[in-house]
Chains A and B, each alone.
Chain A
Amino acid sequence: MQQIPMHNNPQSDTAPLVKIRGLKTQFFTEDGIVKAVDDVDLDIHSNRTLCILGESGSGKSIMARSILRIVDNPGRIVEGSIHYRSADGREVDLAKERHGSRLLRDVRGQDISMIFQEPMSSLGPITKIGQQIVETIRLHRNVTKAEAKAEAIHLLDRVGIPRPAERFEAYPFELSGGMRQRAMIAMALSCQPRLLIADEPTTALDVTTQAQILDLIAELKQERQMGVMLITHDMGVVAEVAEDVAVMYSGKIVERGDVYSVFENPKHPYTKALLASAPRLGGIRRRRLPDIRELLPPGYMNNPANLSPDARLEGHKVAEIAPAEPKTHNEEDRILEVKNLNVHFPIGGGVFSKSTDVVKACDEISFDVYRGETFGIVGESGSGKTSLSRAIMRILDPTSGEVLFHRKAKPTVDLTQANKSELRDVWRDMRMVFQDPQSSLNPRLRVIDLVGQCLQKAESLGRRDLQARVSDLLVQAGLKTEFLLRYPGAFSGGQRQRLGIARALATNPELVIADEAVSALDVSIQAQMLNLLQDLQDEFDLTYLFITHDLSVVKHICDRVAVMYQGKIVELTTRDELFANPKHPYTKKLLAAVPNPDPRMRKAS
């Protein structure tokens, strides 16, 4: 409605849309003050995409919220200014505005709008999608309900939601994740904002959906000449869409510049370490993943005060990381044979009607796993990969099929036919590492009982023996023996996953199934975990069945890969073959969607 011809305005290149100076946002908690944003200077320009890159806890999200003044209590802006230049050229300092002032409310949604990570929880749960958009339009523009509705349907259409008039009446829970995020974007764009702030807009989405959403944002930015500020932890996303980059660490901006200079010529050691540890699909495959914490000087990560731009990166550690030599496996020595496995779930049906329809979570799945290899199963959410892993373990009962488990010293078992006591025996040799270490460790048990529970069950050890065995396991998993009597609540995410790994290894298993075992972790911790898993594989001659949605993890750790799509395996091949020469269209699409942490390799858009 108020399209501003930016390109005609010579000022637009020099005068930023938003100018942040000395911004400090702090949280006044019971345990003291947390400096979430600590003295940040930043310029945001029209018609440019600025990416804020940082790990979780870096303060990037709080910084973005400070601009719109929507930081939750007990957070407050204590210092600094946020100058916003409005369409008529006037400047206002948003940081000085009173909470909920008319001016702030006018800026929000109309001049600057925002989209969030979780579209499900960010949309009102029991208000129709269309109603939420209409409401935004009518808040800022003087139009009738019918006009607003027509506009909303038009917007839904524009963001690529099929049958927009129908979806206007839908509730958020009736849409898929990608569709919800599109609706969220439609709402954010409804008043033609001059700046769009996107806070991790694709983190909760599948990689193919992520690519679509990123494309959409780029397209809309072009079309509307608006500024975009995109907050992410994913270097691939940054390389894909950014024009300018600011790297945040511990509340401060440690590096800023245009995307090429930051990626190709990083100045700050943190940026360098971050780039070195970024998982990438291209290039050589290294035996070990570089780990930020190993790359940076000792004590660097835990003490932000040490963060001087002059610190030198421990370069030799990168050099030490040698390329991996290809592994070979005896194809006759199979450890697991899955034959025509089906897992069907009934859908619909109620008290009075028997349901007739089924969802085929696993549809005639067959594959073999060779002893000593790492077999990957990759797929997006809803592909059936988790049902598959649970059916193999017999945590859930498959509808039909065979799962043959060949062990070294014991007879072969078909898990689908095994009875309870056979299963308990099998579960000693086939263990599982869970996705979320937080929920898989009972917060009310001590480490010794958590890790040792299965040992206790299998061998009924005395307390002293148990303590010795669990101590050994902890050391193997890179933990200290003092942790024996602690509760899981006292550990960080990475440490908890190490506990999960120690627990899985307790009974000397032959096969370990890892279900998204590293997905819930930060990239840097993910690298540590993958390195640990590989070390343990070498040491104990383990076979891994690795289930993941993340192709960079597959690239790094797997020897052979099965790609799952809609309950079926669509492609099964070696890793190198998969990345070099994908056959199935879905595999191609999947590979193409993964953003590459290199701005020069950007897909045209």
Chain B
Amino acid sequence: MTDTTQNLAPADAPEAPVVLGPWALIWRKFRKHKLAMFSLYIVGLIYLVAALGEFLAVQDPHKTSVRHTFQPPQGLHLFVKDEDGSTNFMLHAKGMKMELNTELRRRTFVEDESKIIPMGFFVKGHEYKLLGLVDSSTHFFGPKNPRDTVFIFGADRLGRDILSRVVVGTRVSMSIGLVGVAVSLVIGVILGGISGYYGGLADNLIQRLIEFIRSVPTIPLWMGLAAAIPLDWPPLRTYFVVTVIVSMIGWTSLAREVRGKFLSLRNEDFITAARLDGLSDWEIIMKHMVPSFSSHIIASLTLAVPLMILAETSLSFLGIGLQPPQVSWGTLLKEAQNIRSIIEAPWLLWSPGVAIVLAVLSLNFLGDGLRDAADPHAQ
């Protein structure tokens, strides 16, 4: 059976024309994976949104307005009818009127056909700092008149624009994934490396620790830790503590993987051969071992990012992670925590929900594609 695969090619074929290096081979394999390639673009796009944030926000995400409480999404329209009956192209939204439904004793919104809000690209709006550096008030898309308000994905309890909040929240949610993974990477590689390269007592202790962390249900633990964060802490500190809490389990699987790789590589002939070539332990690790599993680590890291995003979202959703006014997808979903507000304003759920699912899904596809491409045994 092992023989049959080799049988397909003559045993001593003339040298293959392949001169590509391992990374080039991985890239070539990855590019064949259509879904993963597509996901790579999506992930790139999401991180671009995270970086630009306010520039892409249609409105000031923090501006409240009682008149627009729970206003439903406004559609965008392309054509307007002039008085003379001719149809002209103009990107616009229709205004919304609030009416009091006396029968149901609640407010409803109806489209106001007469009010046309012209929309445009690169319009003036609220002030912000682009990438945190450059002062600007130009926005990619929005109403041409800065005093108009448009809620493309609807408004929340305080009349804030959901779309803008989802866009701005991307930064916190996506970066927690990255920072969390970076923390996991450092802890995981160091502990996993020690465990796998030296073995013995250190290995045993680290393995017990990992086993312990993995066998304890994470949510209650996280809840306990996160609940200990004082409410009056500045948002940035809360952010970092939440990140650390979230990455507390992320490192275990990484450490296991690194350890496994070290253990299996330690007995490889090419490592022995490198030792006989006179290389020191450090040179062997850096020149031979790390390159041998770095592609796997990258794939695992990519797969760890969505887990962190989900973890942050869960904590913030429960109200024990990030706190308002910090905007993240999790804190946005907290607005949709009870069934009554969802029924009244389902867009509270849809917008951040779709953002999370899209981000996690594309990161998963990307990670899967990377893993397949990095695996030398896979076809």
Contact = CB atoms under 8 A, between A and B. Distances in A.
Interface of A: 27, 29, 34, 36, 55-59, 61-62, 65, 72, 116-118, 121-122, 200, 250, 301-302, 393, 395, 424, 427-428, 431-432, 434-436, 439-446, 453-454, 457-458, 483, 485-487, 489-495, 503, 522, 524-525
A72 B273 contact: no
Contact of A457 (B15, B20, B278): B278
Given A56-B3, A57-B11, A458 B269 contact: no
Contacts of A486: 19
B277 A454 contact: yes
Interface in B3-58: 3-4, 6-22, 25
Contact of B11 (A55, A393, A446): A55
B82 interface: no
B2 A118 contact: yes
B264 to A, nearest CB: 11
Contact of B1 (A55, A122, A492, A522): A122
A434 B269 contact: yes
Interface in B177-227: none
A250 B13 CA distance: 12
12 contacts: A55-B11, A57-B8, A58-B7, A59-B7, A200-B3, A393-B276, A424-B278, A434-B273, A444-B292, A454-B278, A487-B19, A489-B18
Contact of A491 (B8, B10, B15, B292): B15
A524 B10 CA distance: 13
A432 B1 contact: no
A487 B18 CA distance: 9
Contacts of A432: 273, 276
Given A432-B273, A432-B276, A443-B22, A29 B8 contact: yes
A442 B14 contact: no
By Cβ-Cβ distance, the 10 closest A-B pairs, closest first, are: A454-B277, A440-B269, A457-B278, A442-B270, A439-B269, A424-B278, A453-B277, A490-B18, A57-B11, A444-B22
The CB with the most chain B CB atoms within 10 A, among A302, A444, A446, is that of A444
A68 to B, nearest CB: 13
Contacts of B8: 27, 29, 34, 36, 57
B154 to A, nearest CB: 49
A492 B11 contact: yes
Contacts of A458: 278
Contacts of B17: 490
B275 interface: yes
A58 B275 CA distance: 38
B129 interface: no
B376 interface: yes
A38 B25 CA distance: 33
Contacts of A522: 11-12
Contacts of A436: 269
A439 B11 contact: no
A55 B283 CA distance: 41
A363 B141 CA distance: 82
A56 B270 contact: no
Interface string B269-304: 110111111110000000110011000000000000
B278 A118 contact: no
A393 B269 CA distance: 14
Q: Of B18, B21, B273, which is in contact with the most chain A CB atoms at under 10 Å from its CB? A: B273
B268 interface: yes
Contacts of A302: 10, 13-14
Nearest to A525: B12
Contact of B273 (A56, A489, A503, A525): A503
Contact of A453 (B3, B18, B274, B376): B274
A3 to B, nearest CB: 32
Nearest to A439: B269
Given A444-B21, A444-B292, A486-B19, 10 more contacts: A36-B8, A427-B278, A428-B278, A454-B276, A487-B19, A487-B21, A489-B22, A491-B15, A492-B12, A525-B11
Nearest to A524: B12
Contacts of A525: 11-12
B281 to A, nearest CB: 10
A587 to B, nearest CB: 30
B269 A57 contact: no
Nearest to A486: B19
A34 B8 CA distance: 7
A441 B274 CA distance: 9
Given A122-B1, A457-B279, A485 B19 contact: yes
B269 A61 contact: no
A483 B269 CA distance: 22
Contacts of A503: 273, 277
Contact of B270 (A57, A200, A440): A440
B6 A440 contact: no
Contacts of B6: 56-57
Contacts of A121: 1-2
Contacts of A434: 269, 272-273
Give the one of A29, A61, A489 with max B CB within 10 A.
A489
Contacts of B288: 442, 444-445
B19 A395 contact: no
B1 A118 contact: yes
A36 B4 CA distance: 10
A489 B15 CA distance: 10
Interface string B57-69: 0000000000000
B270 A492 contact: no
A61 B25 CA distance: 31
A27 B1 CA distance: 15
Interface string B249-281: 000000000000000000011101111111100
Contact of A72 (B4, B22, B269): B4
Given A424-B278, A444-B22, A453-B274, A56 B16 contact: no
A458 B288 CA distance: 18
B13 to A, nearest CB: 6
Contacts of B10: 57, 250, 302
Nearest to B265: A442
Contacts of A445: 287-288
Given A121-B1, A439-B268, A441-B270, A494 B12 contact: yes
A494 B10 CA distance: 12
A427 B1 contact: no
Contacts of B16: 489-491
Contacts of B277: 427, 453-454, 457, 503
Nearest to A435: B269
A487 B14 contact: no
Nearest to A458: B278
A55 B3 CA distance: 11
A61 B3 CA distance: 8
Contacts of A446: 21
A171 B256 CA distance: 30
A444 B9 CA distance: 23
A492 B276 CA distance: 24
Nearest to B294: A444
Contacts of A116: 1
Contacts of B4: 61-62, 65, 72
B37 to A, nearest CB: 18
Contacts of A492: 11-15
A216 B141 CA distance: 84
A442 B12 contact: no
Most buried by A among B2, B20, B268, B278: B278
B274 A442 contact: yes
A453 B20 CA distance: 20
Contacts of A442: 270, 274, 288, 292
Nearest to B19: A486
Nearest to A393: B276
A493 B11 contact: yes
A432 B16 CA distance: 27
Contacts of B7: 36, 56-59, 61-62
A424 B277 CA distance: 8
